A = this chain, B = another copy of it.
């Protein structure tokens, strides 16, 4: 990639069973200059496809719009069933600033895509997360509540009028949620106890909802195979709620129960800066700049 600006996009499509359709959608992200398909996965039970793609803003935007056009064409939510909640053929499209892109730019990108989708397919769009037009629309689950089947009625409520497009669902594709958000770090800390209640109580203390860290969601999980438990966290803005801070806070709370951290894991992708920040904290680095990381110069 030649550009300085890199945005990530993780669109979710409501098709996880018909692999021919899945490939058609994935193809929108293949062999495109300035766009790189990192991963796509399907789940039959969820009947859902999750794509991870990075690229320069303009080429990425074009590829996303092409994928939407394909999905609207081939997915009919009237015949869709699966365990995962969904309200559209293109269920949700988050844009995530990665390199040399401000949140403002990612928000603009999300709105440009929304406008084009309405123009082209008359598909109603809700903006969410950082793009949201009101606080009650920041949360995906709140927007999606009622799902495809409840859309028609929900859209009549003034507080659930779509941000773009008509106040009635697309007959086959429902509605779409688009927005900008920070990269999410899925970070789990393992504890040397088999008592789920200990992981649960620690999770409640470190997470935002319980008075803990602002950009931390957390719950206790049992790792039955290993006879231990885990505090499973989503860090929704690692630039403000650092990995090391969540880690150390779990340690502090675990102390009270005579429990220790025995390991940790990062699930999926993590931005380089989140790990560099961690290294810099534990070493106590003074005056360190990401520009000192050799590889950052290879991405320019």
Contacts and interface: CB of A to CB of B under 8 A. Distances in A.
Interface in A237-277: 243-244, 247, 261-266, 268-272, 275-276
A276 to B, nearest CB: 5
Contact of A278 (B265, B279, B296): B279
A62 interface: no
A295 interface: yes
A38 B266 CA distance: 32
* Residue of A6, A271, A278 ringed by the most chain B CB atoms within 10 A: A278
B294 A8 contact: yes
Nearest to A1: B298
A37 B264 CA distance: 38
Contact of A293 (B263, B269, B284): B269
Interface in A158-205: 183, 190
B294 A266 contact: no
A83 interface: no
Interface of A: 1, 6, 8, 36, 38, 54, 98-99, 183, 190, 243-244, 247, 261-266, 268-272, 275-276, 278-280, 282-288, 292-300
